[in-house]
Homo-oligomer: A and B are copies of this chain.
Amino acid sequence: MSATAATAALPGIEQIRDAAARIAPHARVTPVLRSAALDALVGAELHFKCENLQRGGAFKFRGACNAVWALTEAQAARGVVTHSSGNHGTALALAAATRGIAAHVVVPDGAVQAKVEAIERAGAIVHRCAPTQAAREQAAGELQRITGALLVHPYADTRVMAGQGTIALELLRQAAGLDALITPVGGGGLASGVAIAAHAIEPALTLFGAEPQGADDAAQSLARGVRVTTVVPDTLCDGLRALVGESNLDALRRHRVELVTVSDAEAIAAMQWLWSELKLLVEVSSATVLAALLQQPERFAGRRIGVVLTGGNVDLHNLPWQDAG
């Protein structure tokens, strides 16, 4: 697997079920919460799957944990490596710790200090590099050669997609009779895993994805029928800046995932609704899903919708509405 190509075989439902069994001793079964106020606001029945309450504060632990525990003993002994400035780095470090193996995380200069500290606190060996995609991949490649550690890509990885897909298995068990699901879309690891799992269980489900207008490469790619790689991300939604992976995009296409793009201002407003009504810390990337529902209420009216809240890692001293009003 090459990080540049960002391709990997899509998992099947059996691999997702295997992932659920593999991560069960380590991951949390996160609660599904309701809010009468938010239901009234959207005009739909919303079931919020709270992955911000997952270990490490984000769904990323599922995929990382599945990847780590799918390794053979010999592979595991050499550790794992990734490049990340965010939740995937923390997740991989936490997952590696559950198996007692080393995690190397390449962090680009200029990454948010709070997130780097979280990666270190989770037990990773942090390696700095220049803030370019090429430098990140080169540093990760070098670490692989030196240590023999295997790369765990944040989204273009079959086991990672399978791990993220376990969210849909849980959610469809916790909330019966859903008509639709919506997740944020960044690299597409979550959206692809959830799409595969959800349609295997309930083929009639309508699937939606929310993407920031400032990083709408997946929406452009689906619209044009070809993967658009020229988008330069410009959004506050730091968890959704990655370009969608090739195989991830393929899954979105096969499963007819409908994308809704939202502005940063819409995401910030939705974030405040989630905080004040659900009493949950939800990061701005994660609030894009409610922003999408609020932007097009007529599209979602009367439906029973599973809404995946992906993460809650925020800087409490720098909340976006302190600037944005």
Contact = CB atoms under 8 A, between A and B. Distances in A.
Interface string A265-287: 00000001001101111100000
Contact of A272 (B36, B52, B278, B316): B316
Given A272-B316, A316-B319, A317-B321, 4 more contacts: A275-B316, A279-B282, A279-B312, A281-B281
A275 B281 contact: yes
A316 B276 contact: yes
B31 A279 contact: no
Contacts of A163: none
A279 B279 contact: no
Contacts of A52: 279
Contacts of A316: 272, 275-276, 319, 321
Interface in A38-66: 52-53, 55, 57
Contacts of A36: 55
17 contacts: A31-B31, A36-B55, A52-B279, A53-B278, A53-B279, A272-B316, A275-B281, A276-B316, A279-B280, A279-B281, A279-B282, A280-B280, A280-B281, A281-B281, A316-B319, A316-B321, A319-B319
Contacts of A57: 279
Interface string A57-87: 1000000000000000000000000000000
A226 interface: no
Listed residue (A279, A281, A317) with the most chain B CB atoms within 10 angstroms of its CB: A279
Contacts of A319: 316, 319
Interface string A281-325: 110000000000000000000000000000010001101010000
A33 interface: yes
| Highest count of chain B CB atoms <10 Å: which of A57, A281, A282 | A281
A270 B202 CA distance: 43
Contacts of A317: 321
A31 B28 CA distance: 12
Contact of A33 (B53, B276, B282, B312): B53
Contacts of A276: 316
A33 B57 CA distance: 13
